[in-house]
């Protein structure tokens, strides 16, 4: 048995764990990292990177289809789905060295390719290695959840962890779940030639503003995707290579499909960690943490999906910084998600930071004001025929920014400004006063902020003042 005595031990080599490991090692801390599967975790291998790579191929196919509208003669002679998936693998391989065992060893991290199990409040074991550390970070992430559907275990269903290994274009893909992963993959596969049905028990992308998600819904339907909202998949049956799904959507119906993608939530990956031996409290939602990301054992932190908070790669990186300040510098840093942005990467994209209009009105009341500007009022959007969408800005008293949501071309890039403004506690006045280059999509942010002041500027009182001052030459 090999024994190591270190400053910090990280369990999990995904985005969260790697961010802590890199930071700690470069700050001179003796660092051990346990990872039993692929370095880079969910984001690199099964999530953000492969999904965006496949979406890029799908967007290219759609660009060819829409080329005649721009005066360009182009024919979509065919789509090589397997080649598109091969490109996904190449993208992963290009990024993988940044997350590799070799890179982290070069930074001074001791990497153990094994499970890690707590044997006490300050000790873990795995693959013949015993580690005693001053601080621990659990960053084991989450796994796709399998909903309780009769017969699901009898069909070869896909999840985000397996869909990128599929090199056969689905003849008819049923997506169970209309959240971000579900709608992103539905649109990508439809654009690459598959017939697609989405079954969602609520409404698609239900966490977002209904007015903005309507734009996404309309686009998906226009592209030929069958959207079933308020629909529950009751059971699956397998006959040969044919899958039959019974769906209850205003009455039961049977749907014959070739492939099933389950995108109906995730569950924390806590099995085998020995949390009881470590004195770490947890629930079905994950490990319980305070606002400093400490568990019930104060020498152990939990970050990323396992901590039950927002499940985004950029949150994992943010949390890593909080942990480093607490664990290494002993600073009482706390998480603050008020200016947390996120994006659904459909086309058009849907991005958000802060409160929705309904949330703001419920929390704050009648002083809330919501302003919208459609992309159709932005010259660059008109020039590029990308007028589907709008921005909605939610303001409190004196132009305080409570939230912003954008659905439209490059919404994920446009939301950066609003995340910065909220994080730095800037008001709408700062955005309204900036000089925006013309013609750009970003003008929409200046336009919507200006709407708040336009009503005051062009009211009767300023007109009277102008007329009064005009009397003096």
Pick out the residues of the known binding site for NAD(+). 177-184, 200, 265, 305
Helices (H), 67-209: 81-95, 101-106, 180-191
| Listed residue (184, 193, 206, 158) closest to 53, CA to CA | 184
∠ CA 313-323-285, rounded to 5°: 60
Q: What is the β-pairing status of strands 195-200 and 226-229?
A: parallel
Which residues fall in the annotated binding site? 52, 140-142, 177-184, 200, 265, 305
Phi and psi at residue 82, to the nearest 5° = -60, -40
Residue 257 pairs in a beta bridge with 243
Helix (H) or strand (E) holding 132: strand 129-138
**CB of 237 within 8 A of CB of 243?**
yes
Cα distances from 376 to residues 299, 308, 317, 330, 372, in angstroms, run 54, 39, 36, 51, 12
Which residues fall in the annotated binding site for FAD? 52, 140-142
Interatomic CA distance for residues 195 and 169, integer angstroms: 10
Interatomic CA distance for residues 208 and 212, integer angstroms: 7
Interatomic CA distance for residues 37 and 354, integer angstroms: 35
The string of DSSP letters for 281-344 reads: -EETTEE---TT-B-SSTTEEE-GGGGTS---HHHHHHHHHHHHHHHTT--------TT-EEEE
Map tokens 């496949």 to a residue.
Answer: 54
**Three-class secondary structure of residue 432 per DSSP:** helix
**CB of 87 within 8 A of CB of 53?**
yes
Phi and psi at residue 224, to the nearest 5° = 100, 10
């Amino acid at each position: 048995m090999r024994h190591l005595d270190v400053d910090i031990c990280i369990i999990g080599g995904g985005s969260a764990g790697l961010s802590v490991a890199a930071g700690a090692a470069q700050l001179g801390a003796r660092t051990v990292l346990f990872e039993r599967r692929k370095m880079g975790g969910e984001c690199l291998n099964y999530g953000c990177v492969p999904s965006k790579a496949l979406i890029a191929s799908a967007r290219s196919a759609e660009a060819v289809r829409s080329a005649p509208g721009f005066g360009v003669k182009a024919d979509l002679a065919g789509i090589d789905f397997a080649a598109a998936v091969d490109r996904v693998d190449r993208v992963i391989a290009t990024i993988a060295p940044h997350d590799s065992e070799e890179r982290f060893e070069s930074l001074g991290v001791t990497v153990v390719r094994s499970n890690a199990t707590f044997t006490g409040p300050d000790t873990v074991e795995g693959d013949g290695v015993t580690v005693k550390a001053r601080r621990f970070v659990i960053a084991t992430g989450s796994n796709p959840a399998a909903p309780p559907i009769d017969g699901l275990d009898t069909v070869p269903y896909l999840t985000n962890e397996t869909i990128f290994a599929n090199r056969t274009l689905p003849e008819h893909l049923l997506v169970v779940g209309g959240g971000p992963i579900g709608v992103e993959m539905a649109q990508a596969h439809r654009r690459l030639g598959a017939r697609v049905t989405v079954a969602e028990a609520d409404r698609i992308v239900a966490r977002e503003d209904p007015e903005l998600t309507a734009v996404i819904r309309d686009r998906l339907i226009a592209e030929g995707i069958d959207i079933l909202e308020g629909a529950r998949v009751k059971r699956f049956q397998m006959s040969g290579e044919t899958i039959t799904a019974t769906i209850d959507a205003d009455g039961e119906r049977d749907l014959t499909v070739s492939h099933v993608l389950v995108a109906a939530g995730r569950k924390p990956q806590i099995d085998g960690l020995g949390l009881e031996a470590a004195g770490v409290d947890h629930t079905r939602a994950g490990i319980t943490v305070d606002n400093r990301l400490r568990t019930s054992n104060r020498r152990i932190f939990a970050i990323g999906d396992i901590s039950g908070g927002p499940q985004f790669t950029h949150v994992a990186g943010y949390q890593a910084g909080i942990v480093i300040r607490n664990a290494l510098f002993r600073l009482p840093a706390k998480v603050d998600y008020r200016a947390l942005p996120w994006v659904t990467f459909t086309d058009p994209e849907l991005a958000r930071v802060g409160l929705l209009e309904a949330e703001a009105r419920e929390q704050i009341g009648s002083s809330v004001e919501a302003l919208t500007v459609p992309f159709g009022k932005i010259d660059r959007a008109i020039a590029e025929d990308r007028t589907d969408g709008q921005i909605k800005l939610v303001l409190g008293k004196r132009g305080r920014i409570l939230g912003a949501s954008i659905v439209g071309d490059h919404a994920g890039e446009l939301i950066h400004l609003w995340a910065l403004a909220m994080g730095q506690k800037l008001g709408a006045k700062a955005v309204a006063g900036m000089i925006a280059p013309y013609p750009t999509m970003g003008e929409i942010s200046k336009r919507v902020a200006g709407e708040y002041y336009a009503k005051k500027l062009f009211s009767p009182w300023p007109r009277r003042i102008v007329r009064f001052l005009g009397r003096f030459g």
